[in-house]
Structures are given as structure tokens and as C-alpha cells.
Structure 1
Amino acid sequence: MNTPQKWLRLLIDEDCSFEQLLAKLAQAFDSTFTYKNDSSIAKAKLDDFTIVVYDKIDRSFDIVLSPSYILTFMITGNEYLNCHVDEHIQTILTNHDITYQCSQAKDHAYPIELPFWQAPNDDIVINSKGDTLTAYCKIWYKPAKYSKFTGIFQFSNVWAMRFERNKQCAYYSHCDSDDVNSCYWVIPESSWLEQLVNERQSHFPNWRQYDRGEYWHYIIQSDSFYVEVIAKQIKISKTQLKGIF
């Protein structure tokens, strides 16, 4: 499994209710948006991208979270990788009189659903060798029932790794309320990666000539820790293993 190629994040300045906004978006993109009654998040899956809409009000407590609705697009269709997808989506919004503004989305983490249910209260096991890192996790096949399979996160071309406990950052907003059993996260606009690049550039100005490819900021979760990894690629799988835990 590779990281999806592109995200687009927009702020919506509509003076209407969440339901009214979803109705406008449903008409614009000819798709149905689903959400739970007490949820501040709605989603629509199209062939080439998934749209996620965040309400500006926390429905559980009636607290204002943001002055604007947040609209995130996760682009997955191959035909969109080499064309002007931003302009395409913005044109759809403009044609349906939906007012928006671009968001830089610095240090915003996008959740990516895992193909298995990572056991939420168990530690992961990490092995590293050279510039590769492998993390293993236990899997549930239903609540509190462990599978015979082990989940595997394989990172290649690792640049850096860190553990963060009790992290209180904008990265992790909405993670606990996403309607998936388990996920990992990607930060396309990462301050940490930017810092590493600037530091390396100051010591080795020509480093990009021999270190090709794009690095990403990934986050996976252990029991009480976030494990953050800067690497070029992540592959996710599951298999039957013995002696890991």
C-alpha cells in the first residue's frame, strides 16, 4: 500500500447549516454524503477522490471548533495525478456558488484507513535495520477478539523516527472521531520534515543530486505513544507470525 498521491484542503465560508452545506456539495459532486447524527464529520466516496467535510461546530457539545467548514479531498484516481486536479475541484465549487478559500494545512494529518483492525490498547513492536523500519501490531477480527494474523508496517528509506507521548497538536484533531476502526496518518506539509531538509541543505547543499525521491511524514500509534517516521514509502500487510509478541 502506497501513500495516496495528493490532498486538497479548502475552507468553506458558507453562512448555512452543516446539513445545508452537505446538500449543496451533494448536488455539486452528484454524490451522497454520509454522517452520524452526533458526528461533526461527513464523507462521500467518488471514483477518483474521497471528500471529507468537517463541521465548524462540535455536535456533541455545541462548541465552535472553527470559523469555517473544512473540506478535504483525498485524490486516488490515477488519471488525476498529472492534471490540474485543484482547478477541476475549485471549478465545480465555483459553478455551484460555493464560496471557498485555500488552506495551507501546515502540519495537518490526514487519516488513512488500515486494511485491518489494529488492536487499540496494545503496544507495537519495532525492528530496524539500516534505513528500513518494520513495526508489528496485534489485530482484532471483532471487538476484543484477537486475530491469528499480525499487522505489519514496513517503512523504506527512513530518515528519522521519534516517539511522542501525550501529544497535543493540531495534527491529531478528529482522529478519534473518524468512522474507521483503525488508521495511520500522513502529514503532507510537515514542519518537522521541513526542519530536517533545511538542516541537511545547510551542511550538504547538493544532497538532492544523490538522494532522489520524496519523503513523507507518517504517524502510527502504539498503546500510549505516537510513532512518527520520516520515510519515502510505507507498505502495509498482514501475515501469520510467531514469536513477535
Structure 2
Amino acid sequence: MPVSVLLVDDQPLVRAGFRMILETAPHLSVVGEASDGREALRRVRELLPDVVLMDLRMPGVDGVRATADILAWAAPLGHKVRVLALTTFDLDEYAIGALRAGATGFLLKDAPPSELIGAVEVVADGSAVIAPAVLRRLLDRFSPLLPDVESEPETDGADPLTSREHEVLRLVARGWSNAEIAAHLFLGETTVKSHVGNILTKLGLRDRVQAVVHAYESGLVRPGHDLPSDH
């Protein structure tokens, strides 16, 4: 069955653009549209989409409130509705509010079409996705709240990661994309993707967001020491 998507944005032209992009993927199906948060909740109840592509800044009931309302309504259901939040700003209170409300992913509206399609696929599959630029700023904002481990990461003698995988994980924790990591380490992007997959499998992690948290909690990356830098 194709992944069903509900588009929520107060601008008809924006919704039309998203529809054109998503419908180029045969496994995605746009089943409906809504122009504000109140209508979005009503349409979710009618259509039970797999993914809601949610604009955050809308008049009336905004995307943050709509996300919370939709997920609260859907929680008792057997059908899992996932919200992919969209905004023109890389990090603001709306973005943070959407993540707190339970959005599974966060993407910028100017993301390339392939990235938008890929994000919908990832979210529909149950994983989280956050635009690399947003992830870098989230780390910058919240890393002081994480424990500052002064010593080297502890290992019990059975560290499952190779030295190369440690390098890749450190860069993932900085919010770098696969392409950026590949360029920095002089590797192919497919090779980096393979390393990231191995890291998640070996550590029993679900997605890149969990990998970032693991890197900080384990001391592999220390708050204030390994924050994003220009590259």
C-alpha cells in the first residue's frame, strides 16, 4: 500500500507544489489537504493518513497546536499518524514546540524535492528525521544541558565500533550530512551511509537522532568541545 500523506499549509500554491513533488514518487499518495490546524485535525479524523506534512506558521490554530491535537487524538488508535513539520526558519520556538508536541521529523521548506520525498519515507517507516542545519542548531542550544564528561568515553573492552565508525559517529553528532562526512573523510557517500547503518545496528539505535544522543551520553562528544564548526 502506498504511504498516504495529508498536506497542511495555509497557502494553496505551496500545497500544490508539495503535491506535485510527492506524487512523482509512486509509493506516496496525497490523500487530502488542509489550510489550517483546525481543518487538519478534522481531515486526519476522516482520512487517517500515515504522514501529515505540517506547516508550523499558520493563522488561527498553528502547526504546533495542531500537531499536539492530532497526536493526542490518534494516541488511542491502532493506526499511527506521524507528523513531519515544515518551516522556512531553521530553528525557532515553533520548531522546538513541534518537536516537543511529538513531531517525528523537521524539515525546511526549501529542501530539495528528493530530500522531501526521502523525509516522508523515513517518517512513515517510524524513524525520525531532522534537517542537518536544524540539528546543528539544536545541539548548539541544548548541549549545555547534557552531562559534561571530562574523561574519555568508557568502554568495557568490547566496544563494537571500529575507529572509522567512531569518526563517522562524531561527525553525525555534529549534525553533518552524509555528503559532508564523505567529503571530510575522503570517502564515497555510499560508504558513509553504510558506516552509519552499521553504527545504528551495532549500538541498537533507531536513527541518527538517537545516535547523536548516544554520542553525547557516552562522552564520545563533549558539550562545548565538539560543537558544529565551519567545514
Q: Same fold (TM over 0.5)?
A: no
More helix by share: 2
Question: For the pair shown, which has the larger CA radius of gyration, 1 or 2?
Answer: 1
TM-score (norm 2): 0.32
More strand by share: 1
